[in-house]
Amino acid sequence: MMKLIKTLVVAVCLMSPAVGVHAAHSLQKQTPTQAAAKENEISILFIGNSFTFRHNLPMLVKKVFEEGNPGMTVKLESVLGGGKTMFEFSNYGFAQTTLEQATIPPEIISGRIKTMEGYLKSNEAPDKEAWTRFVKTRTYAEPRQTPPFSKLHGFIGNNIERHKTLLESVKAGDITKWDYVVLQSWQDVHPSLDEGYAKNVMTFADIAAKQGTKVILYITAPRVMNHESVEGPLDQESVDREMTLVHKLAKEIKACAVVPVPLAINMIQKNGTDLKFRYVNDAHPNQYCAFLTSNMFYAAVFKKSTEGFKYNSVRDTKVIDGKDRDGGNPAVVFDDKTKIYLQKMAFDAVMAFDKSTK
């Protein structure tokens, strides 16, 4: 008998009725106590790169969601790949398998494993034209040269193993129907809906709609995270360009929520700020950016501020000799003034984005 996780309809991101599941899938009988526990559980799938797994962002989101909703349990899973975008996740890692596990038969998973095994036999992309086009339309590749496809072999190998594990779980009936899927951008936000992040998000959004899963767009800010004090916003043009595209994309796919980190940092930088949002010796978000982002997730999904929450610390997950990449304490505990300010700006940025989308 297969287990299908039944989850809660939360806040303003209302879940649509569950779609039909593969014929072999059926619900397991539950006691009243078990059923009540499941009614207070939501499931979130994160798909992203180091801007998702640094500081273990999913766990920070879980922490803030559960504090704001006493009695709620958040079930998490992540499909991750360092430096990868939605294009690689969709075309070469088949991250969509984890998303649609409740509605596909084992044969499809086996077929995708064989396809990926075939990819490892060549140093040439199976769809060379699409691979080259993707590289050329990235917003960060300077100069825009096409890297060898063999650089993806490690990523593909990891996803073969993930699929093998998932295949056994599906055969055993241990499956999850996701309430939310988080799709992370990373310097691939092209101005057109037909390129880059938007194009590949729409592929995932179509699959999510068939699962009754709501989409959360997590927009990262690698171009505007400051590592020193600033007197005004960085790269205003890129922020405006990305927010324009994301507005269109959110409407197109009817996104449940958008986490517009570039907009939040831009708003904080408007009048100058001493707050830093990336490391000096590392281009990743620092603890301050992770705290801001996790609070933005709460604001985006529940349309409420986290001001007053006890959550007040973030620890770096990449520690060297007990220090973070800048030689500081990997664990940052925010004083009340900074905590409240970042909580407020997280909410204000989400509300500003939502207002401009309507």
- pLDDT at 145 (0 to 100): 59
- pLDDT at 4 (0 to 100): 40
Q: What percent of the chain has pLDDT over 70?
A: 87
Inform me whether the pLDDT recorded for 15 exceeds 90.
no
- pLDDT at 14 (0 to 100): 41
135 within 8 A of 147, measured Cβ to Cβ:
yes
- pLDDT at 358 (0 to 100): 63
Alpha-carbon distance values, 69 to 41, 214, 352 (Å): 11, 19, 24
**CA gap 230, 292 in Å, rounded:** 18
To which residue do tokens 């205003």 refer? 236
Largest interatomic CA distance in the chain? 61
Structure confidence at residue 23 as a pLDDT band (50, 70, 90): very low
Residue 101 lies in a domain: no
Ranges of beta strands (E only) in 22-164 are: 41-48, 73-80
Residue 344 lies in a domain: yes
Most confident of 35-49, 146-160, 328-342: 328-342
Residue 203 lies in a domain: yes
- pLDDT mean over 321-347: 97
4 within 8 A of 34, measured Cβ to Cβ:
no
Residue 99 lies in a domain: no
Residue 82 lies in a domain: yes
**CA gap 182, 343 in Å, rounded:** 21
Q: How many residues does the chain have?
A: 358
Cα angle vertex 206, ends 200, 208, to 5°?
105
**CA gap 172, 178 in Å, rounded:** 18
Summarised one tens digit per residue, pLDDT across range 245-260 is 999 999 999 999 999 9
205 within 8 A of 258, measured Cβ to Cβ:
no
- pLDDT at 97 (0 to 100): 98
> If you average pLDDT over every residue of the chain, what do you get?
89
- pLDDT at 36 (0 to 100): 44
3-state helix, strand, coil in the chain (%, to 5): 45, 15, 40
Q: For residue 16, what is the domain's CATH number?
A: 3.40.50.1110
Residue 73 lies in a domain: yes
**CA gap 147, 163 in Å, rounded:** 26
DSSP state of 54: G
Residue 113 lies in a domain: no
Inform me whether the pLDDT recorded for 296 exceeds 70.
yes
Summarised one tens digit per residue, pLDDT across range 257-275 is 999 999 999 999 999 999 9
307 within 8 A of 344, measured Cβ to Cβ:
yes
- pLDDT at 128 (0 to 100): 86
Q: Beta partners for 332?
A: 314
Question: Which of 139-153, 207-221, 305-319 is least confident?
Answer: 139-153
Residue 300 lies in a domain: yes
DSSP state of 213: P
- pLDDT at 132 (0 to 100): 82
Structure confidence at residue 16 as a pLDDT band (50, 70, 90): very low
Count of structural domains, the chain: 1
Is the backbone of residue 227 left (phi > 0), alpha (psi -120 to 50) or beta?
A: alpha
To which residue do tokens 């890692």 refer? 93
239 within 8 A of 219, measured Cβ to Cβ:
no
**CA gap 322, 319 in Å, rounded:** 6
- pLDDT mean over 319-326: 94
Domain containing 62: what range? 3-87+178-357
**What is the rounded radius of gyration, in angstroms, for the C-alpha atoms of the chain?**
20
Structure confidence at residue 133 as a pLDDT band (50, 70, 90): confident
